[in-house]
Amino acid sequence: MKVYLAAQYPRRDEMRHVAKLLREHNIEVTSRWLLETDSLDSVLHKEATSKNLQLGIQDRADIDASDTLVLFAEDPNIGFKRGTRHVEYGYALGKGKRLVVIDGPENVFQYFPEVVHYATLQDFLDAEGIQNASVAD
């Protein structure tokens, strides 16, 4: 399985841990955004247009390289700075990727019958047969 992890940018370090867990179980993680070093509270409109374009191109290629997008949803009543995960999800939906939503849904496109929902990361790991993975580290 090749997985793209989509989440709010401030959850980058948490997603790095998730990626490590998945890789330990021979699951490829295609999300290069996890390698970024920008501050977790950075905002896109303060970045150079060329940088933002390059990040978008990279994210699109990373989704193309995956077969599954795993979206880590947020409380829909709480605002967000970037919203990139929603575009990533929509792009993956349009490309026919397998879609997994953890702790959601956030919007109407996550109610489609082909979307698989899990209440927690542990539920997802269990369903995928990933044994002995500690999400608490």
Domain of 80, CATH number, reads 3.40.50.450
pLDDT, tens digit, 9 for 90 and up, residues 4-24: 999 999 999 999 999 999 999
What mean pLDDT is predicted for residues 64-92?
Answer: 87
What is the structure's pLDDT at 42? 74
Which pLDDT score, from 0 to 100, does residue 135 have?
Answer: 67
Answer yes or no: is pLDDT of 82 > 80.
no
The pLDDT of residue 30 is above 70: yes
**Which pTM value belongs to this model?**
0.90
Dihedral sign computed on CA atoms, order 60, 108, 94, 121: positive
Q: What integer pLDDT is reported at residue 37 of this predicted model?
A: 87
Task: Identify whether 23 is part of a domain.
Answer: yes
Domain that holds residue 97: 2-127
103: in domain? yes
In this model, does residue 79 exceed pLDDT 80?
no
Q: With contact defined as beta carbons under 8 Å apart, do 100 and 69 qualify?
A: yes
Q: What are the counts of helices (DSSP H) followed by strands (DSSP E) for the chain?
A: 4, 5
Q: Given strand 68-72, what is the order of strands in its sheet?
A: 28-29, 2-6, 68-72, 98-102, 116-118
Phi/psi for 102 (5° steps) reads -110, 125
